[in-house]
Chains A and B, each alone.
Chain A
């Protein structure tokens, strides 16, 4: 049986999209594990029904494994779960109204569940995180300098880093490289040549755009919910 991961993020309270993804995944061959990489909530719509469904999956739902994202961090900050800090970045960038909308979008009874979510998962040699190993708000994209990407992979000691914060779908593989290091200290000179290990950063997308990862073959497939079944005969889906 093929082992696959479905990686979704950025639902922001959208239960319809979640149901569409669940429907897609039921038709997807293989043994699928569903990871929700944060931003289950957002200020635009009421998130309670989606949160209830994530916590209490229907009997035929794939069990979702959730971590917290940037929007969860904001509500935890604003609700006093991070000591004296408040959601100042959100307040400055989006204004007081958005802070209020976020608070109103999530019933307080869900906050303990959100607060208990993990920052990320490490599965096999892969890191699954909303932003990066540095910060939940770290926005990794195709344009992020490779040195930065390598740093984020190195911090977590993984070969694959799945990230969601940018909302983009991409697969960036570090294929080769070299760096000479010479250290001079009180004992003398020490030279070393370091090579870039083969590693990759994968942007999983957001909302209806999600990613399937074939654990056995290391293939990544970018999918749009509801589109896969309709267009499958046309070969949609990017294999990498």
Chain B
């Protein structure tokens, strides 16, 4: 039986290697995507504060507004230009900046009066790009903080406390990664996400070959042999798992080489990483069988499964951090294998998890594999069409 199984696997591996173009695509697409996303994410988390560009429209021209602009110019979080309202509006609309703040006439006088005599507070006008709400929100916070730092000095003169002493505390961020490097952690996360997504897309292609084999009459010939259909399915599952493992090794190999992240140097993390990779490969391979069993034809299966892979990748955190998703979607993501695979890989590389966390991911991935395999075996039809 093992001899026969090895022949079934060997044949699939020979076909995989013989079709050079498909093989190169299987390896290169996830690597290219992971490198691209990893590069973007690691740039965004390098720890260096990044200044957001903004425009200030000073229509007040008061002592306060001059002091406010001067203070903003020294800010670590924004980079400002002073413009008239028409220019500032145009810059926002053309996407040059995320936000402009308009200081209306008499703002300083009215703000001082509101502070001392509790009269009506004046309003800043923020001109914002709705697609860049995060940057706009950050700028609004900076404007508020700067106003509260500058206004007392203008109103109370030397009686006001020193502007720099307004905040009675300081903030220091500590990144919770095993190597204290947020850039490599983000890259490792990107490789986990894109690696998994690439594997699932590859599984769809593997499923298509099963469907094409069926259409070509190869299944008919296989069924005429004395070998049980379960043996053919097992052969497909084993060969797909080996190919998926090879792709994962290629993807992570590229990540280790290009982005210098590493598995946490502990034996349990090496073992955990290998087990998660194996479980993810098994899950991918059974997902391929599921795809092959569900659609009535290759085109239909490809369309539906592509949608499923994109959904699983997005909800599983392969594209962007899960925090971007609404709470209910974050809850749904627990029921998606991609989430567990990515979390498992992240645990072994930069989150500092151990074998316990790895085994959790492995158990969930294998459970998904069993579900996929059972559905696939129930759905696969061996009977040819009428002739």
Partners in one complex: no
Residues of chain A touching chain B, judged by Cβ–Cβ distance below 8 Å, are none
